[in-house]
Structure 1
Amino acid sequence: MTATQERNAAKDLVLSATNSLGRKTTTIYDPATDRATDVYGPAPAARYGTDRRPVANPVAASGCGVLPAHSSTVYNGGLNGLQATYHPNKTLAASPHCSPPASAGPGEASTATGRLRPPAAASKWTAGPSA
């Protein structure tokens, strides 16, 4: 037997690969970004359904009873909305602060804290198209 691959030719993505011993590894992609989110295997090809995920009970399936290994990747997990870090100087040399001081003007350091306030343009994020 030779090694084979199942591919999505339109997106140039490897969906699964089977080695010369008949062990299959599958990759699941995020439909919006085409980033790999889950990888299963290697395990005997009979352990996978048509969706490239392990069958409901792969250990009880015919053959040697192997549960395919699984690894997953989360992109930007735990981030809610836009993220920003404020530094007390323009060279980013000191520890960042949680938020800009209210007493400073845009791009200026506060006399009370020495921290920079972001330029006004940085605070004009909108959900709609730009003007």
Structure 2
Amino acid sequence: MTQKQQTPAPVAAGNGGDEHSTALTRESTPVGRLTKRGRILRALYLGESLTRLDAWKRHGDACLPSTISELQSRYGVTIARRTERVEGRFSAAHVARYWLAPTEREAAQCALASELCRAGLYRTVGEALEALREGAAA
């Protein structure tokens, strides 16, 4: 029997730029092991802002609003949003853009540590938190 090879999810450059994202590298976490919830949380933690199309293209999440809702209910992280008008092929559409407010960074860090443990990348949430604070895990 042959083993299936897992292809990691694509990682985008994102819209980072805050002082925290400079210490973190997108290559330092094997994103292929994270769930879609973990990949989206990681992207928001690193400073990306996402629409559902961005989430599909960059992270393989076909239903971003559901993932956002799950993150908020599971971890209590409030994810900011605003509606934008985008021009489509035949007409304009309104889409939500999501991002992590600076005031939610600590809650998101704890949630991301849990996701990193769930993916088997760290043995304990404490180890994952320490790595995130040092900028090595995200």
TM-score in same-fold range (> 0.5): no
Higher fraction of helix: 2
TM-score (norm 2): 0.22
Higher fraction of strand: 1
TM-score (norm 1): 0.23
